[in-house]
Amino acid sequence: MAITTDQIRDLRQRTGAGILEVKKALEETDGDADAAIQLLRERGLAKAAKKAARTASDGRIVSYIHGDPGRIGVLLELNCETDFVARTPGFRDLAQHLAMQIAAASPEWVSDADVPEDVVARERATLAAQLAEENKPPQIVEKMIEGRLNKWLDEAVLLRQPFIRDNDITVGSMIQHAIAEMGENIVVRRFARFAIGE
C-alpha cells in the first residue's frame, strides 16, 4: 500500500515522531494509523530505555503549593540533558504533574534504589511478625510477605505509584513516555515535601 504525504503529516502531528519513523510505521502497518501509533509508542519506549544511561545534568527546580491556605508544599528537582528541553512546555508540565503527585501521594523515596536496605528489612520483619500467627505454610507466608512488601513499596516509592491523574499508569511509566516524546533522558533527582503539622 502506498503511503500518502497526508497520512504522514497527520501521524506526525498526532505523535511528534520523525518523518522517516512515521513513514516506516505506516508501511509496516499497511496504513493503519492506530496500529502505527502503537508501534511508534513501543519503539519510543525501547528508545527511552536506551536513553536512561545518558547523563541528565540540566533541568529545572519546581515548587508547588497545594490548597488555599498553603498547607502542603513541594520542591522538586527534575533533570534532563539540555536546557532546550528544560524550557519546553512539555517538560514544565511534567515537572508540575510530578510536584502535584508528590503533594497528593506523599512518597518517601524516588526509586527502589533509594529505599535503605535496613528499612526494607525492618518492614519485612514487621510483616513476618504479623503473619506468624496465621498458621500458614512457610512458602505461602513468604509469598504473602513479598506481596505486601511490594504493595508498601508501591505507596512509598514515587516511580512505582499510580499516577494521580491516570491510575492505569505508574509515575515511572509516565516519565518513560515523556523520555520517548522529548528524546532525552529525564530523571527525578530529588524532592522535598512539607506539610503543616507534620
pLDDT at 17 over 70: no
- CA dihedral (194, 195, 197, 198) positive or negative: negative
> Residue 117: what residue type?
E
Strands 166-170 and 187-195: unpaired
Which range has the worst mean pLDDT, 35-49, 72-86, 89-103, 132-146? 35-49
Using pLDDT thresholds of 50, 70 and 90, give the confidence band for residue 49: low
pLDDT for residue 60: 92
Q: Is the CB of residue 160 less than 8 Å from the CB of residue 149?
A: no
DSSP assignment string, 25-46: HHHHTTT-HHHHHHHHHHHHHH
- Which phi and psi angles does 81 have, rounded to 5°? -90, -30
The pLDDT of 77-86, averaged and rounded, is: 91
Q: Where do the domains of the chain lie, and which CATH numbers do they carry? A: 5-51 (1.10.8.10), 58-110+157-195 (3.30.479.20), 116-156 (no CATH)
Whether residue 110 contacts residue 187, with contact meaning beta carbons closer than 8 Å, is answered with no
Q: How far is CA 39 from the centre of its chain?
A: 20
pLDDT, tens digit, 9 for 90 and up, residues 82-116: 889 999 999 999 999 999 999 999 999 999 999 99
Residue 188, classed as helix, strand or coil, is strand
The Cα 180–Cα 173 span in angstroms is: 11
Mean pLDDT of the chain: 85
Name the E strands within 53-124.
58-66, 72-80
**Residue 45 scores a pLDDT above 70:** no
User: Is 0.75 surpassed by the pTM of this model?
Assistant: no
Rounded CA separation 127/153 (Å): 13
Distance separating alpha carbons of residues 19 and 75, to the nearest angstrom: 38
- Contact between 176 and 62 under an 8 Å Cβ cutoff? The reply is no
How many angstroms separate the CA atoms of 29 and 161, rounded?
Answer: 34
Instruction: Give residue-wise pLDDT tens across range 141-184.
Output: 888 888 999 999 999 999 999 999 988 889 998 998 888 888 88
